[in-house]
Structure formats: structure tokens, C-alpha cells
């Protein structure tokens, strides 16, 4: 192979580098292949239909700018099949406070409130307006009281062995 002098990089030639196969040649893959030109005759490799298929709207010239992305070939488009959704729909934002988290964050006699959860880092400033619900996920090992701003699941209020779980 012959290379132009501008493309030859200085490489120290050793007996092992001279005997390298062409696939592991230091200059293999340097040049990027240009894009294939289609529609230039059968012998060029991309002739006749030029990769567009045989017939149809997409095989014609200018079809790329004529067919919109939402067009489904004449059938009723999906945006016309679906009902109109009007107005604002705000989802309720909730935080779940599990018994494992309560056991980890609180000691005996403490009150679980929104402010205490913010102080301990469980509720961020962004989440301070969220509804907080305490749920039963295992045994509750600490004796605590819940403030009015924390809602308690029925399973936690009924199944918990601590006597002072009623909301204060």
C-alpha cells in the first residue's frame, strides 16, 4: 500500500511490526467512509429504487417533507381517538412514613410531627406541604405520639403494641 507523505506517522519499525497483517496495520481505519450515493445506477450498488422500496407515497420524491409525523396513512389518528382532557389535574403529593423509619429516627416519648420530621431531614423544604401518612411495615419498637398533621394507617393504629398511639 502506498500512503501520501502527509498521512504517514512516524512509527519505529521492528521485525514484529513489519510482519503485521493488514487488519492490525497501524493506519487501518484512519479514513472515514463517505456516505453512499444512491440512485446512481445498478452497478453503483444503490441503484434502481435507491433503498426506498418499490411503490407508495414514501418512495416518491419530496415525501420526507410532505408526510407529517402524526399522519397514520388515512386511518383516524390517535389524537382524534382519545377524549379531550380539560382543566388542571393536580395529583395529591404524599410522603409515606414507615415504622422502620420511625424506629430509626425517634426515641421513646418523642412526638412525630411535620416539624420534627423536617428537623431530622426526612421532609425537605420542597416536601413540607405534602401529606404525610404513617404506615405499618413491621414492629414499632419505640413509644411515640403522633401530632395532628400526620395521618396514621388503620393497621398501624390497631396492630401496634404501644398504648399511646392515639393521635394527640
Residues 8-41: pLDDT tens digits? 555 555 555 555 555 666 776 677 778 888 888 8
In this prediction, residue 168 carries a pLDDT of 47
> 152: which strand partners?
134
In this prediction, residue 166 carries a pLDDT of 46
Mean pLDDT, residues 134-162: 83
Grid cell 399511646 is found at 164
Percent of the chain with pLDDT over 70: 78
Residues 89-101: pLDDT tens digits? 777 788 899 999 9
Domains of the chain, by residue range, sit at: 94-159
Residues 87-143: pLDDT tens digits? 887 777 888 999 999 999 998 888 999 999 999 999 988 888 889 999 988 888 888
Centroid of chain to Cα 120: 30
Q: Which CATH architecture has domain 94-159?
A: Ribosomal Protein L15; Chain: K; domain 2 (3.100)
In this prediction, residue 164 carries a pLDDT of 47
The span from the CA of 146 to the CA of 156, in Å, is 12
The span from the CA of 65 to the CA of 57, in Å, is 12
Which DSSP state fits 57? G
Amino acid at each position: 500500500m502506498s500512503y501520501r507523505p502527509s498521512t504517514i506517522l512516524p512509527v519505529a519499525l521492528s521485525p514484529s511490526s513489519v510482519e503485521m497483517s493488514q487488519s492490525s496495520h497501524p493506519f487501518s481505519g484512519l479514513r472515514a467512509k463517505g456516505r453512499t450515493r444512491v440512485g446512481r445506477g445498478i452497478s453503483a450498488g444503490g441503484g434502481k429504487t435507491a433503498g426506498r422500496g418499490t411503490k407508495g407515497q414514501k418512495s416518491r420524491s419530496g415525501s420526507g417533507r410532505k408526510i407529517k409525523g402524526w399522519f397514520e396513512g388515512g386511518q383516524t389518528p390517535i389524537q382524534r381517538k382519545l377524549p379531550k382532557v380539560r382543566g388542571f389535574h393536580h395529583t395529591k403529593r404524599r410522603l409515606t412514613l414507615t415504622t422502620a423509619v420511625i424506629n430509626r429516627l425517634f426515641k421513646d416519648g418523642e412526638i412525630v410531627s411535620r416539624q420534627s420530621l423536617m428537623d431530622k431531614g426526612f421532609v425537605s423544604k420542597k416536601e413540607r406541604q405534602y401529606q404525610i401518612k404513617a404506615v405499618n411495615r413491621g414492629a414499632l419498637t419505640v413509644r411515640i405520639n403522633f401530632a395532628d398533621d400526620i395521618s396514621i394507617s388503620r393497621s398501624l393504629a390497631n396492630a401496634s403494641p404501644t398504648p399511646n398511639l392515639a393521635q394527640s
